[in-house]
Structure 1
Amino acid sequence: MTDFPFDIVGFDLDGTLLDSLGDLGVALNHALSLEGRAAIPRDAVRDLVGGGARKMLAKGLEVTGGPVSDERLNELHHALIEFYSDHIAVETRLYPGGEAMLQGLAARDVKIAVVTNKLEGLAVKIFAEMGLSHHFFTVIGGDTLGPGRAKPKPDLIELMLERAGGGRAAFVGDTTYDTGAAAAAGIPCVAVSFGFNDRPPQDLGAAAVIDHFDDLIPTLARIGAEAETA
């Protein structure tokens, strides 16, 4: 199949491709317990995810008693990452329809990438443990280009385009970090309503919103067709 309008489709990881809420929540609460803080319920963890583990931890500390010193935050962040790395795919799963969607994109000769604010090493490890690595031509993390270049800046998506050798691209995400980065990079973004949305899905600024991965390929086809006739 060669008439698909996009050569490259990039995905956010947490809350977009993977429902990682359970494992992230356990790791966060492990770190909070080291500071004597109360555990945060699973559903409440959803509102803290989006900018990487350090930002999630800082938000968790804020809502359980207030911030700590930068030095202590670094210590707790290290403990969180160490624990999470050891328990990275206990509960984490692809969202429904994810496997068929990835296979459908591959059948259309689409290059599939992951661009996440999660540390690159953790992202690579989670896909390896889940047996999903073969789907992606590149996995780019929030630290791949160094400090200060994560989403919503366009840098990581621009790196995805560079590694793909150019082409027509779209992105798929669940937060304003994703839609903002895609807009800054000049490519359309599809938002998923089932993720860790930091705003109501319709208010994320995406070109379209989907409720299930069964809808992604036809939605991308429609967006591409509309762009060609605009």
Structure 2
Amino acid sequence: MTSPDKTGPYTLVFDLDGTLVDTAPDLITALNHVLEREGLPPVPMASARNMIGAGARKLIERGLEAEGRTVTPADMDRLTTDFIAYYADHIAVESRPFEGLLDALDLFAAQGHRLAVCTNKLEWLSKRLLDQLDLSRRFAAICGADTFGVQKPDPTIFRETVARAGGEVKASIMVGDAGTDVGVARRAGVPVIGVSFGYTDVPIADLKPDRLIHHMRDLPAAADSLMVPQAAGKALR
């Protein structure tokens, strides 16, 4: 991988669910807890994975739709509150970092690059999850849907995350698994690495990320290929 004295430090900005951590087991358990309280059958793990990625409320909506149910806005508020309370208490029962992630993060850190999280998960839930997995200390910034009042793909959340991490947008890369991640990168004018093992109802390859990886061991090389030597005086886009 290119050394920082060649490129200067970059900021690698990661999505959380389906990119850093396989959170599907605990999210779907929380969803099924809510569905069970409504007298509905559980959603199978395999079919529920692609429901993840747009926040708790959307996950519940998709779970209800799978059972042919709709609810009032007031009921949705209640279900979302119940979901978050249950999920917060069971946030890292089965959730684990994807294989190869820790080695990749160690390499980036050793070479002087900054690491940040930019997710549509609530900030406090994101920090609780990363704390319980002993990952929080690796990131200079952990920003969620409520941190700046906007969500991906609004580029403001990306720019502010990079700033909070102490980096520069012109020397940053987004890493994610879904359309919101590709979208925020495009709107912020930065390259994006897609991961094929996450949660999305549209295959990430169809969204044309600048690089596509199928395992975290391939992330350092993909990131290196997108890092522009600062001495060349080039912009990323």
Deviations for 1:89-120, whole angstroms, at most 9, x for unmatched residues? 00000101000011011011111000110110
Using a 3 Å threshold, how does the CA distance of structure 1 residues 6 and 191 change in structure 2: closer, same or farther?
farther
Question: Which 10-residue stretch deviates more, 216-225 or 88-97?
Answer: 216-225
> What TM-score does the superposition give when structure 2 sets the normalisation length?
0.91
Question: Which 10-residue stretch deviates more, 106-115 or 196-205?
Answer: 196-205
- For the aligned residues, what is the CA RMSD? 1.8
1:42 matched to 2:14? The reply is no
- Per the alignment, residue 200 of structure 1 pairs with 203
Any idea what SS the aligned residue of 1:9 has? strand
Provide runs of 4+ in structure 1 moved above 6 Å: none
Equivalent residue in structure 2 for 1:87, among 80, 90, 107: 90
- Per the alignment, residue 137 of structure 1 pairs with 140
8 Å Cα contact 1:5/1:224 also seen in 2? no
Quick one: distance in 2 between partners of 1:4 and 1:34?
A: 54
Equivalent residue in structure 2 for 1:77, among 73, 77, 80: 80
Shift of 1:225: 4.8
Quick one: distance in 2 between partners of 1:121 and 1:113?
A: 15
Letter in structure 2 aligned against 1:134:
R
8 Å Cα contact 1:4/1:108 also seen in 2? no
1:127 matched to 2:130? The reply is yes
Deviations for 1:138-197, whole angstroms, at most 9, x for unmatched residues? 100111122xx1111112101112213442000100000110011111111100011113
Aligned sequence identity (%): 38
Which 5+ residue runs of structure 1 have no aligned equivalent?
none
Quick one: distance in 1 between partners of 2:65 and 2:8?
A: 44
> What TM-score does the superposition give when structure 1 sets the normalisation length?
0.94
Any idea what SS the aligned residue of 1:139 has? strand
1:57 matched to 2:55? The reply is no
1:24 matched to 2:27? The reply is yes
Shift of 1:50: 1.1
8 Å Cα contact 1:172/1:192 also seen in 2? yes
- Per the alignment, residue 11 of structure 1 pairs with 14
Quick one: distance in 1 between partners of 2:72 and 2:57?
A: 13
Quick one: distance in 1 between partners of 2:31 and 2:181?
A: 22
The count of aligned residue pairs is 228
